[in-house]
């Protein structure tokens, strides 16, 4: 009989221990909050205790759970007159009142999940827009190639003239407009090199505005005088006879002064492609974070 009673008492004590309520945070006053925070923390194993502390701070850092940037949150804290001892109580007390340590962790994780989902939605919108921009830029690049191919440049020559008063560099070439619109200005890139040398002597952009424009079907022989005090005026090139010049047309301005190949402010295909790839990388990182938090919360992962 005594043995049976002893067993029943032991079982009762075991069940009491099992069903004993977990300590909860009490935000009825700052003193009780600090006491309950210590009690909750002490009831957790070291790993969970660290997560609890980080979760509590995360909630206090952003009590409204909005999308305010972390830097803005830190600035807000820095400008707050509250001292560090009661900061968590004042900013998070009402939110975590009557919650256990695990409930606080779950709340912080749920907020993280919601933020990641908002970020994923924003990234999906940006990726969709960038994909549309990329398609448009590719179409624009094809049209630009057609426009540039309609302009013929030949007979490019770099040399120093024989002016008896002041020798200076010159660029000669012929240009023919086989396109469908009048050209006001050309933008080009010139390379001056010696065959067999690995590095060009000159590798520079230049532009030229036509007096009266260059109408469709017209051609002109141009002789330009580049700035002799810049790269075009290298003194060691004055008497060289082994120089070869090539010119690549980059862009054109129509009669209204509008660039026809690279509209002002428009991103190129490589620039848009680079932005798109970065956004896709960020999306993969956010999806990984979502999966991680969902696993912690026991939620089935859905991409």
Q: How confident is the model at residue 267 (pLDDT cuts 50, 70, 90)?
A: confident
CA-CA distance, 130 to 15, in Å (whole number)? Answer: 60
User: What per-residue confidence (pLDDT) applies to 16?
Assistant: 45
- State the Cα–Cα distance between residues 148 and 272, nearest whole angstrom: 22
Note the pTM of the prediction, 2 decimals. 0.65
Residue-averaged pLDDT of the chain: 88
Question: Is residue 273 over pLDDT 70?
Answer: yes
Predicted local confidence at residue 6, as pLDDT: 52
Q: Is pLDDT above 70 for 74?
A: no
Q: How far apart are CA 276 and CA 271, in angstroms?
A: 9
pLDDT tens column, 183-209: 999 999 999 999 999 999 999 999 999
Topology, domain 150-253 = Immunoglobulin-like (2.60.40)
Share of the chain above pLDDT 90, in %: 73
pLDDT tens-digit profile of 21-68?
A: 789 999 999 999 999 999 999 999 999 999 999 999 999 988 887 666
Q: Provide the strand spans (E) within the chain.
A: 151-160, 169-177, 183-193, 202-214, 219-224, 244-253
The structural domains of the chain, with segments of one domain joined by +, span: 22-99, 118-149+267-303, 150-253
Element spanning 143, H or E: helix 101-149
What whole-number distance in Å separates Cα of residue 247 and Cα of residue 203? Answer: 10
pLDDT over 80 (residue 303): no
């Amino acid at each position: 009989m005594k043995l049976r009673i002893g067993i029943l008492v032991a079982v009762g004590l075991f069940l009491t221990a099992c069903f004993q309520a977990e300590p909860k945070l009490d935000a009825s006053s700052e003193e009780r909050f600090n006491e309950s925070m210590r009690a909750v923390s002490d009831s957790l194993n070291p790993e969970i205790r660290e997560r609890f502390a980080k979760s509590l701070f995360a909630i206090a850092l952003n009590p409204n759970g909005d999308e305010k940037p972390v830097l803005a949150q830190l600035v807000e804290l820095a400008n707050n007159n509250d001292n560090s001892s009661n900061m968590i109580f004042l900013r998070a007390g009402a939110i975590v009142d009557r919650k256990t340590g695990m409930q606080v962790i779950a709340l912080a994780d749920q907020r993280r999940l919601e933020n990641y989902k908002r970020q994923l939605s924003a990234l999906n919108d940006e990726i969709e827009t960038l994909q549309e921009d990329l398609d448009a830029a590719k179409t624009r690049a094809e049209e630009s190639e057609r426009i540039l191919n309609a302009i013929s440049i030949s007979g490019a020559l770099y040399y120093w003239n024989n002016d008896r008063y002041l020798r200076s560099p010159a660029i000669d070439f012929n240009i023919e407009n086989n396109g469908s619109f009048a050209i006001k200005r050309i933008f080009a890139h010139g390379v001056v090199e010696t065959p067999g040398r690995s590095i060009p002597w000159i590798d520079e952009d230049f532009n030229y505005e036509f007096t009266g424009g260059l109408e469709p079907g017209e051609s002109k022989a141009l002789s330009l005088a580049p700035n002799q005090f810049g790269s075009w005026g290298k003194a060691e090139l004055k008497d060289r006879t082994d120089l070869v010049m090539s010119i690549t047309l980059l862009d054109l301005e129509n009669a209204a002064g509008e660039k026809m190949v690279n509209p002002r402010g428009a991103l190129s295909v490589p620039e848009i492609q680079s932005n798109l790839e970065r956004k896709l990388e960020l999306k993969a990182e956010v999806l990984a974070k979502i999966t991680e938090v969902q696993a912690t919360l026991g939620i089935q992962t859905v991409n």
